[in-house]
Structure 1
Amino acid sequence: MRVGLHALGIGDGARPEVIRAVATAAEAQGFARLWCGEHVVLVDAPASRYPYSADGRIAVPADADWLDPLLALGFAAAVTSRIELATGVLLLPEHHPVVVAKQAATLDVLSAGRFSLGVGAGWSAEEFAALGVPFAGRGRRTDEYLAAMRTLWSEDPASFAGEFTRFEAIRVNPKPLRGGRLPVLAGGNSDTALRRAATLADGWYGFNVALAEVPGRVAVLADECARIGRALDELTVAVALTDGAPEHLPELAAAGVTELVVVAAPPSAPDKAAAWVAELARTWVRTPR
């Protein structure tokens, strides 16, 4: 099973010297992919419930540094040559799809085809309000934006007409390197997110999923794939756990997981990053399967 590392972009992981140290060490130690998430806005006392923790609160302090994930991964791409890169996740309905399509394709080109775009619909009403984007309908907006970006990546000139965005005979370049099709991973643990992964994406990223819940979530994804005549093994199935240990990797693989994503905060001192990554690799990457 592939093992990814979700450690960049927040707090100490937002410092360039730490990103460089972690990224190069992760590549050397055999991690398959570097993940980086997004929030444009955090507030001190949100009314919105965070869906990935039992208490409904995000663990990241509102005043923490949180880098733009595309820029952070662009920096990581420049200091590495083999390790893959992914947003985990970019909150797509908060952005203009034409701009994201260009940014994502640019990062794919600059990384020599190592980038995958993980997207989610978002959960913070306060964040949407600050950006002037309606919170209601964000799922439909996400689905439509994905369709619009697929059009931009594969057609030139490109035209699209939808509920939330439209353009006529425009050229947006560069194109992604893999035949005009950039891999997209749908994030989120709900049935709606799994349906989006099966119908519109190339994979699923489940975040903070309990080990015991993984088989059930993957089964829903498989059912959604079967409903549209698609095989589950066509998709990347990436999961970050709330619990579990290396000895559970065979169990995860049997459930259909193809990538285990280790979520961890890097050390503040860049000269300690290599040892920190090496210890994670000894635990997760080189553990007996």
Structure 2
Amino acid sequence: MRIATTIFLTDETITPVRLARQLEQRGFSGLYLPEHTHIPVSRQTPYPAGGELPPEYGRTLDPFVALGQAAAVTERLALGTGITLIAQHDPIDLAKQIATLDHLSGGRFTLGLGFGWNVEEAADHGVDWRTRRDLGRDRMALMRALWSDEPTAYKGEFGSVQASHAHPKPFQQPRGPVVGPRTLIGGAAGPKLFAHIAEYADGWLPIGGRGLTESVPQLRTAWESAGRDPKDLQVVPYAVLPGTGKLAHYADLGIEEVVLQLPPAGEAEVLRTLDAYAEYL
């Protein structure tokens, strides 16, 4: 099983360069970074985990800039977002960022995408909360058009692009309905999410990894009903606090990668956590 990591990198934590080098040297498989552009102080939307929202949510580094630094100082480390708030991005700009990072890293990028939980943050980006999932689907389709080998136009419900020259292309090659880098969708289990995954992604990025015994078979049913090859489905439990029994359970479910949570801390504390996680490598 591949053991990757995630962390809220901020202006107060270990740096992307130092962390990426340490991860690769120690044999961890990847680094995934979350995204929040800003956190409105009104705090009308409750923190999903309960209690006060941790301060790192309002201090996160831009994941694409940070992952670009990580890519430049590593050769094998996989790089991903966990997650990109796709509805909050201009899809033409985002397609360029993603393709550039995948190109420069030699195909090491995973696009973890999601639809968000903070209503006020999304509203500042002009997102109608009720349609954010359909908006995300539409933006993925537009980006796939820009990533296509030949100039391809797209006109959707929320956006359009003319047939265009758009390089670089993502390093990773098209596979089935997926064009672009490895794509995993985050979110709670449910028929709509699973339909989106089966339609345009490589798999699921479930936060915490709870309830997978029941939900993974449901996803596999949706996946196969969409005509996707069962062996291609990827489920990657995300932001997991590890334990030997937990990882063994994931392996029994056919899971080949897990993303462990690191503390949003300075270098010394993060490296101590990596030392503790070494037993799972």
Distance in 2, Cα, partners of 1:266 & 1:281: 18
Aligned equivalent of 1:260, options 258, 261, 265: 258
Q: Residues 208 and 275 of structure 1: is their aligned pair in 2 closer, same or farther, counting only changes over 3 Å?
A: closer
Aligned equivalent of 2:35, options 28, 33, 38: 38
Residue equivalent to 2:212 = 214
CA drift at 1:233 = 2.6
Residue equivalent to 1:103 = 97
Q: Once superposed, which parts of structure 1, at least 4 consecutive aligned residues long, lie more than 4 Å away?
A: 241-244, 271-275
CA deviation map 1:230-268 (0-9, x unaligned): 233302210026665123222111123221110111541
* Runs (5+) with no aligned partner, structure 1: none
Q: Residues 208 and 250 of structure 1: is their aligned pair in 2 closer, same or farther, counting only changes over 3 Å?
A: closer
What is the aligned-residue RMSD (CA, Å)?
A: 2.1
Aligned equivalent of 2:165, options 163, 166, 171: 171
What is the DSSP-based 3-state SS (H/G/I as helix, E as strand, rest coil) of the residue aligned with 2:278?
A: helix
| Bigger Cα displacement from structure 2, 166-175 vs 250-259 | 250-259
Q: Residues 244 and 19 of structure 1: is their aligned pair in 2 closer, same or farther, counting only changes over 3 Å?
A: closer
| Bigger Cα displacement from structure 2, 156-165 vs 235-244 | 235-244
Trace 1:151-170 onto structure 2 (pairs within 5 A): 151-170=145-164
Trace 1:42-81 onto structure 2 (pairs within 5 A): 42-51=39-48, 53=49, 55=50, 59-61=53-55, 64-81=58-75
Distance in 2, Cα, partners of 1:49 & 1:276: 29
Residue equivalent to 2:194 = 194
Q: Does the alignment pair 1:230 with 2:224?
A: no
TM-score of the pair, normalised by structure 1: 0.87
What is the DSSP-based 3-state SS (H/G/I as helix, E as strand, rest coil) of the residue aligned with 2:55?
A: coil
CA drift at 1:176 = 0.7
Q: Which amino acid aligns with 2:249?
A: E
Distance in 1, Cα, partners of 2:228 & 2:252: 19
Distance in 1, Cα, partners of 2:4 & 2:214: 22
Q: Does the alignment pair 1:3 with 2:30?
A: no
Residue equivalent to 1:182 = 181
CA contact (8 A) 2:237 2:257 kept: yes
What is the DSSP-based 3-state SS (H/G/I as helix, E as strand, rest coil) of the residue aligned with 1:12?
A: coil
What is the DSSP-based 3-state SS (H/G/I as helix, E as strand, rest coil) of the residue aligned with 1:31?
A: coil
Aligned equivalent of 2:26, options 16, 26, 29: 29
| Bigger Cα displacement from structure 2, 177-186 vs 31-40 | 177-186
Q: Which amino acid aligns with 2:244?
A: P
Distance in 2, Cα, partners of 1:99 & 1:196: 22
What is the DSSP-based 3-state SS (H/G/I as helix, E as strand, rest coil) of the residue aligned with 1:119?
A: strand
What is the DSSP-based 3-state SS (H/G/I as helix, E as strand, rest coil) of the residue aligned with 2:161?
A: strand
Identity fraction in percent? 32
CA drift at 1:195 = 2.5
| Bigger Cα displacement from structure 2, 21-30 vs 58-67 | 58-67
Q: Residues 271 and 62 of structure 1: is their aligned pair in 2 closer, same or farther, counting only changes over 3 Å?
A: closer
Residue equivalent to 1:203 = 203
Distance in 1, Cα, partners of 2:213 & 2:241: 14
Q: Residues 177 and 9 of structure 1: is their aligned pair in 2 closer, same or farther, counting only changes over 3 Å?
A: same
What is the DSSP-based 3-state SS (H/G/I as helix, E as strand, rest coil) of the residue aligned with 1:260?
A: strand
CA drift at 1:209 = 3.3
CA drift at 1:163 = 0.4
